[in-house]
Amino acid sequence: MKKRKIALVVVAIGVVAVAALLFVSLGSIDKLIQGGIEKYGSEMTKADITLDKVSVNLTNGQASLQGLSVGNPEAFETEYLTHLDEIRVSLDLNSITSDPVVVKEILIQNPVFIYEMAPGGTNLDAILRNVRDYVGEGARETQQGKTTGPKMIINDVYIRNGTVSVSLKGMKGKKMLTTPLPEIHLQDIGKKEGGATSGEVAEKIIAGVRSSAVSAVAKLNLDTVVDKTKQTGTAIKEGLGEAGEKLKGLFK
């Protein structure tokens, strides 16, 4: 049971909380977690999620997830939303048999994000909407008496030394400018509520990433971004619609 619960928790937080809980208990724990992240995380975000490797140390509550990529929802052209080389997770082993489970820390170093802008919003906006829809569905299931798995309290989430690149619809996935992503530090997720579901954790972390990305892109010379985009050709201009003309408005 202890191994299974660790697996459930790591799945829930492993994709920076863009995965649902994995309710299985057979086979290799590492492979189960990897498969759960890819399957349920993709359902939550409505974007393809892949993961190269999961390593779990059951004796000290440490986990490492390597080579995590989150694709884009439909209609976006860039290769992916984010690629994370490694996520390190530290669990409070004393809480493994309780509900909520306490996660001491999630640390993400050197993440790469592509912030794709389109007339209907950005890829981060679309991902966040999908996760919020998932959270809403989970809340309805809870009201109907259906189980959603153990809840979590996460003491600290750090996202450090990241970069965010800008792309616009119509550029066929090409990136224009890249800028550092301000460090993200989220604290006490789920603490006030007595625990948060995986979807609720996902919503908070993705919202934090979006806020940091908007802050970073807002500091770029947006007039230059628009000028460069227009110089790339009529097809791009048509693909932008009003997005290019209203680019500054996206960051007010």
User: What would the DSSP string read from start to end of 91-137?
Assistant: E-GGGTTSSSEEEEEEEEES-EEEEEEETTEEHHHHHHHHHHHHHHH
What percent of the chain is modeled with pLDDT above 90?
A: 28
Backbone phi, psi, residue 249, to 5°: -60, -25
Report the b/e string of 65-80 with b at 16+ CB within 10 A: beebbbbbbeebbbeb
- Mean pLDDT computed over 163-192: 89
CA 121 to each of CA 127, 148, 221, 235: distance values in angstroms, whole numbers, following the listed order? 11, 30, 19, 19
Contact 54, 35 (CB under 8 A): no
- The residue whose two tokens read 């493994």 is 96
Beta bridge partners of 153: 102
Q: Name the strand (E) or helix (H) holding 158.
A: strand 152-160
Q: Express each pLDDT in 194-244 by its tens digit.
A: 998 878 888 899 999 999 998 898 887 655 555 555 554 444 444 444 444
- Mean pLDDT computed over 24-42: 62
Q: What angle do CA 76, 69, 216 make, to 5 degrees?
A: 65
Range with the largest mean pLDDT of 6-15, 79-88, 212-221: 79-88
- Mean pLDDT computed over 157-173: 89
Tell whether the model's pLDDT for residue 117 goes beyond 50. yes
- pTM for the model stands at 0.74
C-alpha–C-alpha distance, residues 155 and 187, integer Å? 5
- Single out the residue of 203, 164, 174, 10 nearest to residue 81, CA to CA: 164
Backbone phi, psi, residue 135, to 5°: -65, -40
- Single out the residue of 34, 33, 42, 41 nearest to residue 5, CA to CA: 33
